[in-house]
Chain A
Amino acid sequence: MHHRYDVLVVGAGGAGLMAALYAAKGNVSVACISKLYPTRSHTGAAQGGVGAALGNVQEDHWEWHMFDTIKGGDYLTDQDAAEIFSKDVIEAVYELEHMGLPFSRTEEGKIAQRKFGGHTREFGKAAVERSCYAKDRTGHMILQTLYQQNVKAGTTFYNEFHVTDLIIEDGRCRGVVAYDLSTGEIHTYHAKAVILAAGGYGRIFKITSNALTLTGDLMSIYYRKGLPLEDMEFYQFHPTGLSKLGILVTEGIRGEGGILRNSTGERFMERYAPTIKDLAPRDIVSRSIITEIREGRGVGRDGDAINLDLTHLPRETIEQKLAEITDLARTYLGLDPIKDLVPIQPTAHYAMGGIPTDVNGLCLSDGHGGSIEGLYAAGEQACVSLHGANRLGTNSLGDLIVFGRRAGIYAAQYARQVDYGTMPENPEAESNDMLNRMKNASGTDNAALIRKELQETMMNNVGIFRNGPDMEKQVGIVNELKARYKNVKVSDPSQRYNSELMEAMELGFMLDCAEAMTASALNRTESRGAHDREDYGERDDANWLKHTMAYKDLNNDNNVLIGYKDVSLKGYTRAFEPKPRVY
């Protein structure tokens, strides 16, 4: 089946839904493709809030937010993106409220705000209430509200369609190819502009807060075309996932006064971040937790967790403001946070890197100003780069609404100015080849076993603490898994709802993401933000204040080519010089 839209959005989480809304406002025809029903998207799992300097509780300014974002990103953040972001996110939060989002409220009836890791006043003096929240289900409310607004706007959705290919010819995107899960048919979408907003790839790790569906599909498809993925070595481990499960426990808990304690009961963050303690940025807290565990002060049967203590908080705060995680702790651990300590451990959470874009969402084809005409990206899928080497809590939801909106606006503007590009004769050929290979392979290997091995080895070898020998080993492991992947045969022959086929396809995408991440991490011989190397412990601005651009070597399947891109060290009106990062 063949379709035509001026603007086509891939992904229906926060970024995709915001992009679709804004593209439609630009008087162009818009459709949105998602491999899920939109309300199933993982934006809904975000809990703590969206950071914006509204100043509803305490004085706050966008410049402070800009500074915190850049320092939080260990100065790898592009400062032009950070300036746009910290200004625009204020207006974007008000806009969500105008769309009806049921925010929690202050006594005066304004949007309620609370403290969050790394968000400070007066450039690092003390924690500030910046996170605008709707109880501890802010992402759920953003996802619901944006979906509601798209229903109102009459956006066309193609639900449960998996994108299998992007059509890019002569430097211009012409559309996408997608697989309809319900029928097994291939559809082609001819579009003037395409916006990629399909989320991250946390499922390459064993312990993750990410949904089973977050497998990096579009990043991999981009990468397979010889186009770069930026800063893939920077992957965030959220400090507090439920022990063994990895389910997210919001940082908002620490924003409300929750404390991390080791097996001796010590509030150990006082040693690692004397000024803001438990509210240090996530990379620092995760490393501190792992250090405590390695030095024998972990808790739990395996001594591989740390306790999160809420027992000193008023019952009302826990039940009213933290109801979601109270429910999670009760359901999965049988614990009641009002009186029990909750065992947590770091969990793979968020990709700072992804498809490189400029501040308008336009996808970049190299590190020197080249771009793909008509192709945009936003949200976790994209690397603009707002988050640099480490994202601050709440800045992901802000990123979705600010850069999702910009991508929608600029894609529509572009689509109004151009005619449809020519589609190649047989756009679905490569997709059919890919699917047929999986249906006809030798069948000597099992996709689930390969996936499990990938997840375990990535966790061990490219996790929170990294070193050269382990990552070199992982390069070999990923190559071996890629070879075995070629033997995976899909045994279910059915046309309708063949989820075995889709899971096998997703494994191929995950292997690409793991390959790009491992190569980028091995290449960067310094420690910065979330990328921490035991063999190169210091940040090295002289050699490494630059973005990594990882390219698949189209001539050698087992090789990754590395390039670089400059960091924007100046905003439009403000600039913050790199300094040592202490909290």
Chain B
Amino acid sequence: MRTLRVALATAVATVGLALAPSVGGAATHAAWPVTVRAANGAVTITQRPTRIMSLSATATEMLYAIGAGSQVTAVDKYSNYPPGTPRTSLNGYALSVEAVARYRPDLIIVAYDPPSLAAQLATLHIPVIYDPAAPSLAVAYHQYLGLGAATGHLAGARAEVARLRARVAAIVRGAPHVPVGTTYYYELDPTYYSVTSATFMGQLLSLLGLRSIADAGGTHVNGGYPQLTAEFILQANPSIILLADHGCCQATPSSVAARPGWSALSAVAARRIYILPDSIASRWGPRITILLQAVATDLRRAFG
């Protein structure tokens, strides 16, 4: 968390290094209305929003990171970061439009778009930005800029994107060189759901020179999140094991080592099993650098 604060301070200092504008309509963000492109098409916001509702935990983190936090008046129950967000009991996956309307939002951000939600909200004349889980860093950056333009914080968004780019580059530069062919098994849950290198997480990890064992079945199988068979994991014998199911399911290096048959794995023998903060690992917001740094540190322990 300290790292983040330091990083944010750096971001404020580097506001000048903004990127070329790639978002429609907002070279100077004082000019309303603005139109931004999101996954639900072009969204027009007629005036500066002051009652933003975020039903996406990642969007909430992004909004606060770009300086739009003071305009956010309600967030869903999963938006637990940064501390002090105006959390409600709303659940972005089971929404009642009336419950949403009660908060009188003037802009809504969702990461999940059930079939009729946007249409219903349109009848209330509330603009909805649909930013689903980003498939790549580039899309995450694009979402930042869209949120920046929509909330009047384009400069803040550009600064945050620049900070993330710089930080990612610095972590990758500072990471140890892993041996060629280093593979990982990334565990999403104790029934062996994993990620391929084509997913957001897989792309981050490939920046560090790692390859997922799940790629063997094609990187786009099951949307990049296949459930692997145990015997395949054993035969693939990954160089390291990354546990993203400690918070949810209490997986630990010792619980993995204790699984029948798993003691034969070289990652178990060499103790190359690492716990990742899973509350961060499922989001594509400002804290991806914390996750990336954690893996880089694990790699230094493993190969440094």
Check if A and B associate: no
Taking beta carbons and an 8 Å cutoff, which residues of A are in contact with B?
none
